[in-house]
Structure 1
């Protein structure tokens, strides 16, 4: 009898644990903390599952999640928010979330005009031109971008590739799961569409567990030009880091 009770307790515990970790769909309604009105087109990304969705016209959303997953919620003009999926949320099936508006101070923008002469041959030399190139390296599927904003880039490429103590080597070697998550994100249309419109590096930094400034340093070690790092959207940055990681794996095998 004693063994039967112990077996029954073990069975119930296993069943309960299985229910907690089973993938479920949780839902919620997102509204403005100031007006209490529902917010449409709010982006929600499950940082653990690399899945995304958006709210409808009533602020409603539904997304796949398990216990303790983190949802990253963003909307233009509002403070981003991270929410953890709790037991109560899973049991109730839905929850209410409020976003706070950002206080944005607009800075003065000065637009400078070019002093053109009207002569094409002269004016073409007055307008700054940024040229970026990609060097091809034998053994790698892709090249490395350099340009006038990336001095001595080619020598940096060679030194970074053949220096095993390089920051890039250490970073990629320590974060294989996070980098795989970046690749999985590209498969989700909602996440891709979101990253195409973002330039703040916030989502990518959270996924990799690094500071925003570290992303620029990573891309510099991959020899991307400063102009690319500053102007690319988050999806392009995601592709660049993923490509650099694949090149790192090739070098590691060799």
Structure 2
């Protein structure tokens, strides 16, 4: 029995001696913006070595865990990807990212009359954030969970924060897509051509008469011109 226990002890020592050691982690953080100092919310930061991904918040700040020499790639729709190599082995490494605007069209997408710039950008956004959008919503803590069911230690409770963040991102994404579509039709160039407005007056008119998504989805191009004209006639006395 003593020999058996000694063998086990030696085996444990051997395993501990030759087992790969976990690499120290460093928190990489900073702000993501473009050359015009415009912060970029919901930019994707991917750790190519670990497979982890993180999104920048609405202030453009990101945070992701990594190990020394890990390669991080930052992507955002309409901008060229940026890459950084983690140089620290522990603690916090702060790296601010300034992204460069890219071309309008996607590689691998045939540019024909069937695609509008909005549609191509929308495809790009969908490809970038598909790993979040395709992730189904999971139950949150509380709600239909029975009382006394161990909510404090429930895995649902543990991941509720991330689940809420995911749901909020989906809501923001849907809202953003609608606004992008509206902006693709209700453009300053078109409105200026119809109304003759320019500069601050043009911006004020467009702000006061920003159309809803359903209108822009259902109205054709000719009717849109009449719609802008009617809004301008009604807006002039209030100016």
Normalization by structure 1: what TM-score? 0.34
Higher relative contact order structure (alpha carbons within 8 Å, sequence separation ≥ 6): 1
Normalization by structure 2: what TM-score? 0.35
Name the larger-Rg structure. 2
